[in-house]
Amino acid sequence: FHTLSFSTNRLASLHFTLRFRTMASHIVGYPRMGPKRELKFALESFWDGKSSAEDLQKVAADLRASIWKQMADAGIKHIPSNTFSYYDQVLDTTAMLGAVPPRYGWNGGEIGFETYFSMARGNASVPAMEMTKWFDTNYHFIVPELGPEVKFSYASHKAVIEFKEAKALGVETVPVLVGPVSYLLLSKPAKGVDKSFSLLSLIGKILPIYKEVVTELKAAGATWIQFDEPTLVKDLDSHQLQAFSHAYSELESTLSGLNILIETYFADVPAEAYKTLTSLKGVTGFGFDFIRGTKTLDLIKGGFPSGKCLFAGVVDGRNIWANDLAASLSTLKTLEGIVGKDKIVVSTSCSLLHTAVDLVNETKLDKEIKSWLAFAAQKVVEVNALAKALSGHKDEAFFSANAAAQASRKSSPRVTNEAVQKAAAALKGSDHRRATNVSTRLDAQQKKLNLPILPTTTIGSFPQTMDLRRVRREFKAKKISEDEYIRAIKEEINKVVKLQEELDIDVLVHGEPERNDMVEYFGEQLSGFAFTVNGWVQSYGSRCVKPPIIYGDVSRPKAMTVFWSSMAQSMTSRPMKGMLTGPVTILNWSFVRNDQPRFETCYQIALAIKDEVEDLEKAGITVIQIDEAALREGLPLRKSEEAFYLDWAVHSFRITNCGVKDTTQIHTHMCYSNFNDIIHSIIDMDADVITIENSRSDEKLLSVFREGVKYGAGIGPGVYDIHSPRIPSTEEIADRINKMLAVLETNILWVNPDCGLKTRKYAEVKPALSNMVAAAKLLRTQL
Ligand code: GLN
Ligand code: ZN
């Protein structure tokens, strides 16, 4: 009997798959790293010369095969190919177009690993190409360097090869290409090229190559091609918009006979761009983000070209929450009413590259919390379930399990903390500023701290040795006792304190030896946070980050840093900086809950950090640094939304320290130098001292002040680059400081490296800091 019912079920499910194979579902793109970062390890082993190119290719091919199979098994109709990459999809496009900068010595032919990885990572004689953030994600792409001299040629057949590879496995895919206009808009003029050179003028030179690729794909049997044109969500001018109309008209004859999807993501498409996009020639379907694109639904309601397909991105590719299937289904039905029954395709809001890979590997996660989550593998299943439901074949069991999980998330006591909600709500609208202005405070602080001019300090972390990492790991695994752990960390702090005293640094740090990561360390001690074991997301190349998950109201059960900071302060008579991560940075480097606005979550974190700041002050810590390394990262993609973000972000920072005494000096630190456009917001943070990365772009930063921005707080633009093992000389550092002195008042300038020293070795840190202090002393005698 058992066997019988089993086989009937099998039959039914087989019938099901066959029938629903054709449901309209689509995935924009998929993570490449693998569920356990297989690609990362394969890449690094290849780079280290420990394995061969064939080994790497084998790992990559296996990953691709399993991803395609997984999507096919789930029933996805439009499965992407060419979203795999050994490093980055924009670099892949540069390779496809043969746009290799001459310094890499490429002599034509198909681009292989050597040239490809040299562009990505540099080689013994040539540095890498520049890398920058992909829109507002934490993914970084390699910026194409173009100019009038570039001789484009079809130099990487990857898109076609991967299409054929999937086809050989029996999987029909949609090859994905970075669209020609977005590619140019994301490029920069190569060194030496006139700034006035228009990158878009290269369109006529790259389209012939796109035509070759498309023609080959068509010959190989492709029926759909996806062009990613995400720059359409940015603020574009009419000239830039025209480039889209022009490019796709040019491509029209080549594209005929194929279905063409233009995919956008990360925001809604502005009204003007929407008009341009939906009137493009030769296009079959348009993809939109319905998650971040808050106005997308209204745009569609306002009109959608008849006979075209709408790829509705209702499953969030940027987060880890399970979809609210009932809500999505209702959106989809509304859309269907507008665009027509067979014209709607259920999709993800963007590539799943920006979410974690597979929830199946989260064996340590709390069961209830786990039921609220969906990583890439689960999102694929959600997309298909929605497509089936939309066509009238709802999987009732799947939907009701989802509804139950949604309900449990809404009502779970672990999500809601009334007191926190109330306290955060009370913050809105009010200002939260310290009682006196910054110059009054600096005077009061100077009386107490008695620092020399050009005071020296560091950003927080000191080198993290293998031993140190082992101690932390063993403590976590309960292999060593708490006493042993404390002893080891104390010893490390003592070493760092003594070193700084020997170097004669003025304001000391404890070195952060107890911290694995500046966000995780705090998240682990706050309520409302959960952590994954394998929830990795690609940041760049083989590098991945594992953001904590903020699932509930945030509160601080007890002091987080006071123990170590007081211990460190007791070892020296010099001021010891308390070291905290700010609320905006904690927010921007986590997976944030989607059931309340981001600013509310940020205010809650701010209140927790405020308690910590006040406890540090009570414990006698007189200088407290609150890092906002990632404040700029959260800046929205569109100008019209910047002011709102900056307002609550800066407010959150001020909340953390508005209650301290005048004599308590608040520092903040930022990991970027291009803050010219947000300088007024940074001043509005009202910190007493700001240390910022600067070493790679002196001129840019100083130009703000040269232009007469009034700035009265302390400022420490980094005097040397900690990202490089190079040891700067005293003269070089003194020279830099002199340049700063030409623009900034002597009494506000601080001398410090440009970021934490965590990734460096002592052999580099000691001489570098020693030269830094020597430079400050030298200049003091001259002032
Ligand atoms: N205090 C941190 C450190 O020194 C700051 C790190 C950062 O800015 N990313 O490591
Ligand atoms: Zn930094």
Read off the pLDDT band of 689 (50, 70, 90): very high
Q: Give the residues surrounding ligand 1 with Cβ less than 6 Å away.
A: 459-461, 512, 518, 579, 627, 629, 669, 671, 755-756, 758
What pLDDT does 115 receive? 98
Among 626, 755, 758, say which to mutate for ligand 1: greatest number of ligand atoms within 8 Å of CB.
755
Nearest to 176 by CA among 104, 94, 263, 284: 263
Q: How far is the CA of 461 from the centre of ligand 2 (A)?
A: 10
* Mean pLDDT within 347-357: 98
Q: How far is it, in rounded angstroms, from Cα 451 to Cα 144?
A: 46
Q: What share of the chain is helix, strand, coil (3-state, %, to 5)?
A: 50, 15, 40
Length of the chain: 783
* Mean pLDDT within 479-504: 98
DSSP 407-447: HHHHH-TTT--HHHHHHHHTTTT-----SS-HHHHHHHHHH
Q: Report pLDDT digits (tens) over 732-777.
A: 999 999 999 998 999 999 999 999 999 899 999 999 999 999 999 9
Secondary structure string (H, E, C) spanning 260-277: EEEECCCCCCCHHHHHHH
β-pair partners for 345: 311
Q: Report pLDDT digits (tens) over 176-234.
A: 999 999 999 999 999 999 988 999 999 999 999 999 999 999 999 999 999 999 999 99
* Mean pLDDT within 234-256: 97
Q: Which residues contact 491 (CB under 8 A, 6 or more apart)?
A: none
What pLDDT does 430 receive? 81
What pLDDT does 18 receive? 46
Measuring from atom 1 of ligand 1, which residue has the nearest CA? 460
Structure token digits, residue 431:
């200002």
Read off the pLDDT band of 512 (50, 70, 90): very high
Q: Rg of the Cα trace of the chain?
A: 28
Q: How far is the CA of 390 from the centre of ligand 2 (A)?
A: 48
Q: How far is it, in rounded angstroms, from Cα 127 to Cα 37?
A: 26
Q: How many CB atoms lie within 10 A of CB 632?
A: 22
Q: How far is the CA of 130 from the centre of ligand 2 (A)?
A: 19
ipTM over 0.95: yes
Res 10 pLDDT > 70: no
Read off the pLDDT band of 709 (50, 70, 90): confident
Amino acid identity, position 531? F
Q: How far is it, in rounded angstroms, from Cα 571 to Cα 448?
A: 19
* Mean pLDDT within 324-331: 98
Q: How far is it, in rounded angstroms, from Cα 620 to Cα 566?
A: 8
**Residue in this structure with the two tokens 């940074």, named with its chain if needed:** 682
Q: Which residues are annotated as a binding site for L-homocysteine?
A: 459-461, 627
Listed in order, strand segments (DSSP E) in 677-752 are 689-692, 714-717
Q: How far is the CA of 648 from the centre of ligand 2 (A)?
A: 22
Backbone region of residue 404 per phi and psi (left: phi > 0; alpha: psi in -120 to 50; beta: other values)? alpha
Q: Report pLDDT digits (tens) over 655-675.
A: 999 999 999 999 999 987 677
Determine the atom of ligand 1 nearest the C-alpha atom of 758: 10
Is 723 marked active-site?
yes
Among 138, 457, 461, 690, say which to mutate for ligand 1: greatest number of ligand atoms within 8 Å of CB.
461
Res 2 pLDDT > 60: no
| Ligand of minimum distance to the alpha carbon of 758 | 1
Q: Report pLDDT digits (tens) over 20-44.
A: 445 799 999 999 999 999 999 999 9
Ranges 297-311, 422-436, 561-575: which has the least confidence = 422-436
Read off the pLDDT band of 704 (50, 70, 90): confident
β-pair partners for 511: 461
What pLDDT does 697 receive? 57
Average of per-residue pLDDT values in the chain: 94
What pLDDT does 725 receive? 86
Residue 589's φ and ψ, nearest 5 degrees, are -105, 20
Q: How many CB atoms lie within 10 A of CB 750?
A: 23
Res 5 pLDDT > 50: no
Nearest to 585 by CA among 541, 622, 624, 550: 550
Structure token digits, residue 302:
């306002």
What pLDDT does 708 receive? 77
Q: Are 78 and 107 in contact (CB under 8 A)?
A: no
Q: How far is the CA of 618 from the centre of ligand 2 (A)?
A: 27
Res 159 pLDDT > 90: yes
Measuring from atom 9 of ligand 1, which residue has the nearest CA? 629
* Mean pLDDT within 427-443: 92
Among candidate residues 2, 26, 667, 723, the one labeled active-site is 723
Nearest to 580 by CA among 485, 510, 636, 672: 510
Res 19 pLDDT > 50: no
Structure token digits, residue 742:
């030409």
Q: Report pLDDT digits (tens) over 294-325.
A: 999 999 999 999 999 999 999 999 999 999 99
Packing angle, helices 89-96 and 113-121, rounded to 10:
130
Res 4 pLDDT > 60: no
Q: Which residues are annotated as a binding site?
A: 40, 138, 459-461, 512, 543-544, 589, 627, 669, 671, 680, 684, 693, 755
Instruction: Give me the torsion for CA of 725, 726, 729, 730, rounded to 10°.
Output: -30
Res 242 pLDDT > 50: yes
Among 462, 627, 628, say which to mutate for ligand 1: greatest number of ligand atoms within 8 Å of CB.
627
